[in-house]
Amino acid sequence: MRVFRGLPTPESRSPCVLTIGNFDGVHRGHRALLARAVAGAHAHGLPAAVMTFEPHPREYFAQLAGDITRAPARIANLRDKLEGLRQCGVDRVIVEHFGSHFAALTAAQFVEEVLVGACHVKHVIVGDDFCFGAGRKGDFATLLAAGREHGFTVESMPTVADADGGRVSSSAVRDAIEHGDFARCAELLGHPYTISGKVIHGRKLGRTIGFPTLNVRISHRRPCTTGIFVVRVHGLDGGPHRGVASLGVRPTVEDNGRVLLEAHVFDWAGDAYGKLVRIEFLKKLRNEAKYDSLPALTAAIDNDAQQARAFFAAEAVAAAHAAPPAGSASTGDDIGI
């Protein structure tokens, strides 16, 4: 998969089938849209391309207004978004910087400069709520008319619903994560909720109190959730590994507002610096808290670790009860298949 940081340069431009969106989380609704785009690209003998934005347009306007809380919390970092798009078979991703210039493009300019001029689109597929251009004045009908004028076709993808008829959306995923409902989140995403990143050097405070951690920087300021979690860590030797993690601003240790993901991995020792790890969220234990002393913080972490170990012990018991007895025959063997 080829990734463009900004619109393709003239020498990199070639016809494509394009879909456009933020794709935060790359959930089941996104994946249905991407599957249709990839199938359409194959039918046309063209690459499947995605245009996405960094920062999120609503984040840009929230920063402009001086109130970042107006922006939606982030489900995924850019690395995880790109990995989700790659898994869906996308050939090209255009990560367009959403700033003052892009925000000011009218719907007509977006079509002429971006879709036709930079992307050379032959077919565009979008969600049924897609809007574009300054003031969100362009919609599906606008895009259809532009396609007739400029020689590309346009297709709309209906909303994907869950088993109960609810809309599969980034908002629904955010709500599930915020409420610690990781089972519901996995249903919406089509896979467990994870955050990936390279392990960086930290203050190394954890090792002095008996709880060394893997530190992963969170690039965005507003993750969907913060707190203490039971996790499973992928990407280390002999894994996956069980652990407990903190996601947040570490109020007892620092006061700079920077978000960090720290995972203490049970019964593992090694050099993880520079490794790409993926941290899977299983259960929220509690919210972040500020403690008056290091001993109080240590006691809280010890309690969190005990709860996490109890969670995994219960999980193992449940799995053992669910498994068929050793040596038992399958249904197929019973009936002679």
Enumerate the domain spans of the chain.
2-157, 182-320
pLDDT in tens, 81-139: 999 999 999 999 999 999 999 999 999 999 999 999 999 999 999 988 899 999 999 99
Superfamily of structural domain 2-157: HUPs (3.40.50.620)
Q: Which of 149, 150, 113 is nearest to 10 (CA)?
A: 113
Among candidates 305, 314, 243, which has minimal Cα distance to 278? Answer: 243
Provide the pairing of β-strand 214-217 with 194-200.
antiparallel
pLDDT value at residue 326: 62
Question: In 3-state terms, what secondary structure has residue 117?
Answer: helix
**Does residue 185 register a pLDDT over 60?**
yes
Whether the CB-CB separation of 117 and 235 falls below 8 Å is answered with no
* Tokens found for residue 31: 């994946």
3-state secondary structure of 293: coil
pLDDT at 191 over 90: yes
Helix (DSSP H) and strand (DSSP E) numbers for the chain: 11, 12
Classify domain 182-320 by CATH architecture. Answer: Beta Barrel (2.40)
State how far the Cα of 265 lies from the Cα of 278, in Å rounded to an integer.
Answer: 12
Task: Specify which residues 196 forms β-bridges with.
Answer: 278
pLDDT in tens, 134-169: 999 999 999 999 999 999 999 999 889 888 888 999
The strand pairing partners of 16, in sequence order, are: 121
How far is the C-alpha of 33 from the C-alpha of 17, rounded, in Å? 12
Structure tokens at 126: 């979008």
* 207-259 pLDDT, tens digit each: 777 788 999 999 887 899 999 999 999 999 988 999 999 999 877 666 667 89
User: d(Cα 185, Cα 321) in Å, to the nearest integer?
Assistant: 25
The pTM assigned to this predicted structure is 0.89
Q: Identify which of 51, 26, 36, 19 has the alpha carbon closest to the alpha carbon of residue 170.
A: 26
Torsion of CA 186, 191, 193, 198, to 10 degrees: 180
Output phi, psi for 231, to 5 deg.
-135, 165
Instruction: List the one residue out of 209, 212, 216, 211 whose CA is nearest residue 280.
Output: 216
